[in-house]
Amino acid sequence: MPGAPGAHFDRELKAGQKRILNSASVGQEQCTFCRIARGELPSHKVYEDERYLAFLDIYPLSRGHTLVCPKEHGETIWDMKEPEIGGLFLAASRVSRAIVEATGSDGFRLLQNNGEAANQAVAHVHVHVIPVVMQDRTKAMSRTKPAEREMRATAAAIRKALLP
């Protein structure tokens, strides 16, 4: 049944094409990122246009760790058309510049997981933009839970850096 936990959304599959398992599958009415895009759940938005949204990860790997996602629901990049995939990565690129400026990072990682086996925790396609400072480049990354005031300040700094 589509939308049930552990189920897959019905897609047109070509002969021999594999489906990607994602036990976090839900319909767009219950999808956390769709609910954020509709304004039903709070987030620290840093970027938004007609198709894409970027907001701070609530358990970041580093200060400024941001998620960029399409507003339209789809679980993996296989659910997107090529121009939409390009648009998602263009938005991630634009946001990455602001994140590096706002956080004083020395670089950044783009991470995009597809399916449970790849550690995709939310079944809505998204790109992680993770700022990195030079001294942390070889360290194992672990998630944190920043204070609300730090999240607000970081989001504001990124939004300011995005201004033309």
Walk along the chain (164 residues) and give the pLDDT tens digit of each residue: 333 333 334 445 555 556 677 766 888 889 999 999 999 999 999 999 999 999 999 999 999 999 999 999 999 999 999 999 999 999 999 999 999 999 999 999 999 999 999 999 999 999 999 999 998 777 777 788 989 999 999 999 999 999 88
User: What pLDDT, on a 0 to 100 scale, did the predictor assign at position 1?
Assistant: 31
CATH for 32-162 (3.30.428.10, 3.40.640.10, 1.20.120.1200, 3.20.20.70):
3.30.428.10
User: What pLDDT, on a 0 to 100 scale, did the predictor assign at position 13?
Assistant: 52
List, in order, residues 6 or more apart from 36 with CB less than 8 Å away: 42, 43, 53, 55
> 68 and 111 in contact (C-beta within 8 Å)?
no
Residues involved in catalysis: 126
User: What pLDDT, on a 0 to 100 scale, did the predictor assign at position 19?
Assistant: 67
Compute how many other C-beta atoms are within 10 angstroms of the C-beta atom of residue 119.
Answer: 9
Q: How many residues in the chain? A: 164
Pick from 103, 93, 107: nearest CA to 153: 103
